[in-house]
Chain A
């Protein structure tokens, strides 16, 4: 019956939405920010710890929201580990473009991991669920306080 929903709720999303691997606050961190979607009440806080050469050593989050937003935050925390801030900004741009268009460049390991979330582009009201954790992460990297998803 819900076969047509598997494009949105792929198994990886249901799995990470139910059992996030990175869904906790970091004991030690050097950047954090909250993301807030006042229209629907979703909230996420992201914590980041960089290593000595400026790459993200670890990311973690706490979120209140739907399966899409939890899975997105969890996959995000997974793929940003080991990357520079500049790298992450590029990834965030590509992710947000994918959430809106459904298109993502091939041959990029990180984007391949995030691709299950491409299905949200067919659900305009759910795009922000997927992008809110990324808004929060960018706000943390920019040390600009908290992020709001429109």
Chain B
């Protein structure tokens, strides 16, 4: 099988050995964790980095004139360098730490949306966005008189590019905010083509990279992106830390999102001035331990390398699609040409929640529901789907276990 060749550069046993949780059993069976798109498991390096900080090297950052604070600041700020290199950002000061992708998108919607966009302008999203890339724009629309336009998708689950371009033609679109990889369909959007087209019509582009950055090397300069958001906990890091990258001149032009400590130049009762970017957008004591954990997670990803990660994902995805196609009554939702390791499916005669419970009973963890993408579900004519999603530790045998279990689910509800 050529799949074996393609994963040759990734030592799956060595990788799995780094994730303590993968040794757990669930309901008496080995854990088969196929819900990484919701949140990924954590490698030893991340766990150790956070524990090490708490046990040996912890104080508040950016302010202490003492050894502990200086060392902690170095470790925390080191993650900013790692994050910048991860996505090939030209300047470490363009990396803004947020709580998660949702925090990053809300920052853009609030600061760029209200501070730079003008009433009467429009924002374009796509029909396959997570709620976190829908609701902030609805709030901007209602508060600031911004029109919200939705670019349709094809029945295959790909961006309808001609229709997308039509939405840009009147020149009123200030920003395109779009997923880089759908959390439901696994579709990768044609990012470089999106930015080229949007820029031709004078619009900036923000990518929600929550899923994409897990599987593919992201180069914000090659993509010619303007904003890029991702979250730590899907990238094998801790919860509570996310990243917004934006071009420096955009960050400079944007007003702060939240006020507080750490984001000011000086404060008097009459007026305050803002710190330079990125600190202007980082009010309050940050997620120090989580920032340190994210640094370790990026180090873990770098050690494997995106070539091996992407090849593994492609191999798993091909294998899963082939196995699921063999099962009568199981339908994979979406058939994009360029797709990755997030696979939604339905089972004839069984609701997605019942499917998930039956799989759980065999130790297989999948997600079931609307996946925080209700408008997409309506577009697809579905109430819910089950979803299997893969991480760097996922094996072909786990996908085989899913396929075997799905045959049994069919029998159970027959």
**Which residues of A line the B interface, CB within 8 A?**
1-2, 4-5, 8-9, 14, 18, 39-42, 64-68, 123, 126, 129
Contact = CB atoms under 8 A, between A and B. Distances in A.
B338 interface: no
B29 to A, nearest CB: 11
Given A9-B412, A40-B369, A41-B369, A64 B383 contact: yes
Contact of B361 (A2, A41, A129): A2
B412 A129 contact: no
Interface string B224-259: 000000000000000000000000000000000000
Nearest to A6: B412
B193 interface: no
Contact of A126 (B352, B357, B377, B412): B357
Query: Could you say which of A14, A42, A64, A66 has the most chain B C-beta atoms within 10 Å of its C-beta?
Result: A66
A129 B351 CA distance: 12
User: Which 10 residue pairs spanning A and B have beta carbons closest together?
Assistant: A66-B351, A66-B353, A41-B370, A40-B369, A66-B354, A67-B354, A64-B383, A2-B412, A5-B361, A41-B384
Interface of B: 349-354, 357-358, 361-362, 368-370, 374, 377, 383-384, 408, 412-413
A112 B371 CA distance: 36
B383 to A, nearest CB: 5
Nearest to B368: A40
Nearest to B355: A66
Nearest to A129: B353
A35 to B, nearest CB: 15
A72 to B, nearest CB: 13
Contacts of A1: 362, 408
Contacts of A66: 351-354
Given A65-B351, A67-B350, 12 more contacts: A2-B361, A2-B412, A5-B358, A5-B412, A8-B357, A9-B412, A39-B369, A40-B384, A66-B351, A66-B353, A67-B354, A126-B357
A41 B354 contact: no
Contacts of B358: 2, 5
Contacts of A129: 353
Nearest to A65: B351
B374 to A, nearest CB: 7
Given A2-B358, A2-B408, A41 B377 contact: yes
A9 B361 CA distance: 12
Nearest to A40: B369
Query: Could you say which of B353, B368, B412 has the most chain A C-beta atoms within 10 Å of its C-beta?
Result: B353
A41 B374 contact: yes
A100 B412 CA distance: 25
Nearest to B351: A66
20 contacts: A1-B362, A1-B408, A2-B408, A2-B412, A5-B357, A8-B357, A14-B413, A18-B349, A40-B368, A41-B383, A42-B353, A65-B351, A65-B353, A65-B383, A66-B351, A66-B352, A67-B351, A67-B413, A126-B357, A129-B353
Given A9-B412, A40-B384, A67-B350, A4 B377 contact: no
A117 B362 CA distance: 21
Contacts of A67: 350-351, 354, 413
